[in-house]
Structure 1
Amino acid sequence: MAGDALSDLLRTVRLTGATFFDIAAQDPWAVCSPAPSSILPKILPGADHLISYHVVTNGRCFARIVGEEAIAVEAGEVVVFTRSDPHIMSSNPDLRADPPTADVLDIASAGQMPFHINYVRDGSLSARLVCGYLACDAQPFNPLLEALPPVIKAGDSKGDAGWLGQFINLAVAEVAEKRAGSETVLTKLSELMFVDVLRRYVESLPPQHTGWLAGLRDPHLGKALALIHDRPAYNWTLEALAKQSGLSRTILVERFTRLVGIPPMHYLARWRMQIASELLSAGNSNIASIAAKIGYESEAAFSRAFKKVIGVPPSAWRLGIRAAGNVESAAGPNEVLWTETEIGPARGPDRPQP
């Protein structure tokens, strides 16, 4: 069930692959990735959040966020910058690099992908990388992004037999052969690769770790999260959620709040608003029908709840007007935002008890 919650979140926040780079390099070399603010308008207009990744397919190199310690990355490993902080990929951890020029980003966004960058001068290749960007929605509520560290490195102990090895082989083939549909194949491969990196990260978490991913790993909280994600419009109460999760009400609230960071009913309300924001942005449903889909019996109750969480009414969100900052611009993370009666009763097919 926990895996379902992760899949549902990734689907709802619209994870998608974007521009790809094929980099061939010769020592010494260094490439700097610019800040998301300069990348998004060029290659991902309208995207909320940028994730960058680099898969080393040959040789080795170093990866580091500007101003931080360098990480060695070997062939067969991938490094993911979950916030796309300005970072440097280089042959030596001490090398500096200038960010790509606007011209390079323009060419990359307009040309056929993958975009090739050649730093080889005399034919002596020392490293090769397949790099790219993923985009997803950060607002109004993406607990996954809050739970991830700035950098994740993953490797495949099984070599080519593991998923990352297969990803590398397929990515290299698509880059080299330039077959019809390669761009789409690379896009889907990068999304699958990211999900696999997330799985590995969850499995590596220490027992004392807290956060949304730690909640997924807990069998009882994973069930609670899956229930909320699977049936967001249901008239959940703490008693019903606790019973279905195999915990007492008191323990559910304590454990959920400690690991996930907010109480279960607050999580339910925010998750409903995430779904609502996606429906509003799609523009295919009126506000009354969206209210019904996420568990509110009236448009007025939904509009009040939406503004309470997001900071702007649903109509403003649909027009592209965002509240300053993130979800917590409307209320701090520890404020009591809702009582159970304020969450809103369910209607329609989700009315029966679970």
Structure 2
Amino acid sequence: MDALSKIFAAPRIREAKFTRLEASAPWGIVSPGEPVVKFVHVVSGSAVLTTPGQALPTRLESGDVFILLADAAYQIFDDERSVLIDCVDVERARVGDGIKFGGGGATTTFISGSFEMEPLGRNYVLDVLPPFLHLTKGAGRTESFATILNMLALETSVPGLGADAAVTRLFELLFIHALRAYVGDDRHQKRGWLAAASDDRLKFAIEAIHADPAKDWTVDSLARAAGMSRSAFAARFKNILGQTPLEYMTSWRVYCASTLLLTSPAPISEIAHKTGYASDAAFNKVFKRVTGYTPGMFKRVNETREAR
């Protein structure tokens, strides 16, 4: 199982919210940003987006999707001369899951969604992505990606029984397909495990670690999986990921163990074995070095948080 599949193997999205926004010209929105993953699909019309991290404004056209992965402020409008209204004031126009506002001219329709990710998955995914993704219509799109966008448009335009649950699942699928499109677009500079997973050689070693973290991997065996010499593999791996192969293997094992500690009733000794540690002592030592907690403490702290 690849990294992205493992990260999304259990429900990872929480507090999903969606809005069908119909903005008629002239219109403009300003937001201070939120600590959530936010995406916007331009169903029809066009808009301009600016964020502090962008040197130039981004022109959004019908069919485009943009995703904000950080809590940066942003502005979105039909024309630079339009008055910007605080998102809190725009929210006051909400009726159910829809908002209509603006000056009554040409309309741009958006499906806007936001959600929180489970912290472990969030860190592993968002740490390798830029804070802003802009996916233009046709760029890296697949038929399934287009289908998800169409289903979101339908679910938010005429909500039926179980619409909230359906939209939450579609958010998760949209996020996965957006990452696929991002990975498949050669214009984007990748980093971390995502860069290695996109590398013609290293991807075989990364896939091997992700598929079987319990295996007694060595630099030699991973180099063989990549079809490279030991020295060339180690140098390439460190250059692209910023970690040695064994450092990355340890981080992935700890991630897998953390997930099991939160989702499985298995005893810690069994989790240690499933993630490649022959003894509880070795597992405890590595886990505490990486997370700052022993496995038992980590489980108790997170169970207390969930209970609040």
1:60 aligned residue? 46
TM alignment of 1:109-258, pairs within 5 A: 115-120=97-102, 122=104, 124-139=105-120, 142-157=123-138, 162-206=143-187, 210-258=191-239
Matched, 1:11 2:9: yes
Report the Cα offset of residue 202 of structure 1: 1.6
Structure 1 residues 71 and 257: alpha-carbon distance in aligned structure 2, compared to 1, 3 A threshold: same
Distance in 1 between residues matched to 2:209 and 2:230, nearest whole Å: 15
Is 1:17–1:190's contact at 8 Å kept on the other side of the alignment? no
2:275 aligned residue? 294
Report the Cα offset of residue 121 of structure 1: 5.6
Matched, 1:51 2:37: yes
Distance in 2 between residues matched to 1:100 and 1:180, nearest whole Å: 28
- Gapped runs of 5+ residues in structure 2? 304-308
Report the Cα offset of residue 52 of structure 1: 0.8
Report the Cα offset of residue 62 of structure 1: 1.6
Structure 1 residues 189 and 139: alpha-carbon distance in aligned structure 2, compared to 1, 3 A threshold: closer
Is 1:34–1:100's contact at 8 Å kept on the other side of the alignment? no
Which deviations, in whole Å up to 9, do the C-alpha atoms of 1:54-97 show, x marking residues without a partner? 00101111222247442111111101112242323222346544
Equivalent residue for 1:100, pick from 69, 73, 88:
88
Equivalent residue for 2:66, pick from 79, 93, 96:
79
Identity percentage of aligned residues: 28
Structure 1 residues 88 and 13: alpha-carbon distance in aligned structure 2, compared to 1, 3 A threshold: farther
Q: What is the one-letter code of the residue matched to 2:5?
A: S
TM-score, with normalisation over the residues of structure 2? 0.84
Distance in 1 between residues matched to 2:289 and 2:108, nearest whole Å: 51
Distance in 2 between residues matched to 1:128 and 1:219, nearest whole Å: 40
Is 2:26–2:103's contact at 8 Å kept on the other side of the alignment? no
Is 1:283–1:318's contact at 8 Å kept on the other side of the alignment? no
Is 1:156–1:163's contact at 8 Å kept on the other side of the alignment? no
Report the Cα offset of residue 36 of structure 1: 3.1
Is 2:44–2:110's contact at 8 Å kept on the other side of the alignment? yes
Two-structure CA RMSD over aligned residues (Å): 3.2
Structure 1 residues 231 and 65: alpha-carbon distance in aligned structure 2, compared to 1, 3 A threshold: same
1:26 aligned residue? 24
TM-score, with normalisation over the residues of structure 1? 0.74
Report the Cα offset of residue 212 of structure 1: 2.6
Distance in 2 between residues matched to 1:224 and 1:204, nearest whole Å: 22
How many positions carry a matched residue from both structures?
A: 300
Distance in 1 between residues matched to 2:13 and 2:245, nearest whole Å: 25
Q: What is the one-letter code of the residue matched to 1:14?
A: R
Distance in 2 between residues matched to 1:208 and 1:71, nearest whole Å: 18
Report the Cα offset of residue 5 of structure 1: 3.4
1:345 aligned residue? none
Structure 1 residues 247 and 35: alpha-carbon distance in aligned structure 2, compared to 1, 3 A threshold: same
2:250 aligned residue? 269
Distance in 1 between residues matched to 2:73 and 2:17, nearest whole Å: 17
Structure 1 residues 290 and 209: alpha-carbon distance in aligned structure 2, compared to 1, 3 A threshold: closer
Is 1:34–1:87's contact at 8 Å kept on the other side of the alignment? yes
2:306 aligned residue? none
SS at match of 1:320: helix
The range that moved more, 232-241 or 4-13, is 4-13
- Gapped runs of 5+ residues in structure 1? 38-49, 323-354
Structure 1 residues 127 and 192: alpha-carbon distance in aligned structure 2, compared to 1, 3 A threshold: same
The range that moved more, 299-308 or 172-181, is 172-181
Q: What is the one-letter code of the residue matched to 1:22?
A: R
Is 1:61–1:74's contact at 8 Å kept on the other side of the alignment? yes
Structure 1 residues 247 and 13: alpha-carbon distance in aligned structure 2, compared to 1, 3 A threshold: farther
Structure 1 residues 266 and 278: alpha-carbon distance in aligned structure 2, compared to 1, 3 A threshold: same
2:57 aligned residue? 70
Report the Cα offset of residue 248 of structure 1: 1.5
SS at match of 1:88: strand
Distance in 1 between residues matched to 2:23 and 2:122, nearest whole Å: 39
Is 1:174–1:182's contact at 8 Å kept on the other side of the alignment? yes
Structure 1 residues 195 and 67: alpha-carbon distance in aligned structure 2, compared to 1, 3 A threshold: closer
